[in-house]
Amino acid sequence: MKCVKLPKENLSSFVETLKTFGKVYGPVRNERSHFFREINNSNEMDLNYTRTMMPPKKFFLKLKEIIFNFDQGRSEYQETPENEKTVVFGVHSCDIHALKLMDKIYLNSAPDKYYTIRRQNTVVIGCSCRPDKYCFCNSQGTSYATDSFDLFIHELSDAYFVRVGSDKGNSIIRRSSSLVKEVDSKDVDEFRGAERNRDREYTLKLDINGLTDMLSLSYESDIWNEYADKCFGCGNCNLVCPTCRCYDVVDYLDADLKTGHRLRHLDSCMLREHGLVAGMLNFRPTRAERLRNRFNCKGSLREDMVNCVGCGRCTVYCPSKIDYVEVLKKVKGEL
């Protein structure tokens, strides 16, 4: 992997270069949290954030989008894919692993046109982070990203250590040749030391060995009723999760009953309506069943990788204060 050094005083000029590749979005702080917002310069970003409320998934899977407009009278439909070029700056390694999971789902056997176009048109620039008490990505094996990004920057004392992960990343570095320098042995040693120190800062641990089996064996456990009594069933955990991908598709007719549009919107398995089928039957009628389903989904390995990346969002932003790791430790009999 190619690596270069970006002096900190060149960050602002580097962001200006990135604008030639698309609209630049970075982590910006408001009164309560961090969000990815379009930025005009590097001073607007807070690269020392721990997590954004909404994950970078939002750039590839919209909360709500029109897939196509249709005219039944003419037997015609018109798709509406976006072609905007985008640069997402400051994505943490756990969220990059989440994108890797989404790629497996939306790019492999049956590629999703809308996701594919956005992924192709987006530059992903990762950024190193410092864990807080809710982070457990090191337990999930997602604390360090080796692929699925274009560039990844790690903060050093006076510069950023930049790993190049793709051809697009190489193109950016070539266009920024006057802003970057070659790394030397001192830079490499500082990079290694920073990564070792970061690993030691993780305080929350979750042993995922055998977790899938433990979840299966806990199907009838009272744990689900215990936490269902606390759960509001609001679906906030699904909304902020970087790997949740359930959606619903609805056709809306105009007043002429001939024209209209097909809408896709993200859905939540924690909402009662998610399990409703014809005849008003519900295959997950209780909150306990929906909670159990969500935890089994996050503990799944059906995409050959863990479905939870350890970002801690579901715990941090749960209005009921349900602790994700606490639940799974009870499932494993550790609490």
The predicted structure's pLDDT at residue 134: 98
Query: What does the alpha-carbon distance between residue 210 and residue 332 come to, in Å, rounded to a whole number?
Result: 9
- Locus of tokens 């306990």: 288
The predicted structure's pLDDT at residue 306: 82
Q: Measuring CA to CA, how many Å separate 97 from each of 17, 103, 160?
A: 26, 10, 21
> What pLDDT, in 10s, does the model give residues 226-277?
999 999 999 999 999 999 999 999 999 999 999 999 999 999 999 999 999 8
> What pLDDT, in 10s, does the model give residues 177-224?
999 999 999 999 999 999 999 999 999 999 999 999 999 999 999 999
| Domain parsing of the chain, residue ranges | 3-59+80-200
The predicted structure's pLDDT at residue 41: 95
Q: 88: closest CA among 118, 111, 49?
A: 118
Strand-pair partners of 123: 87
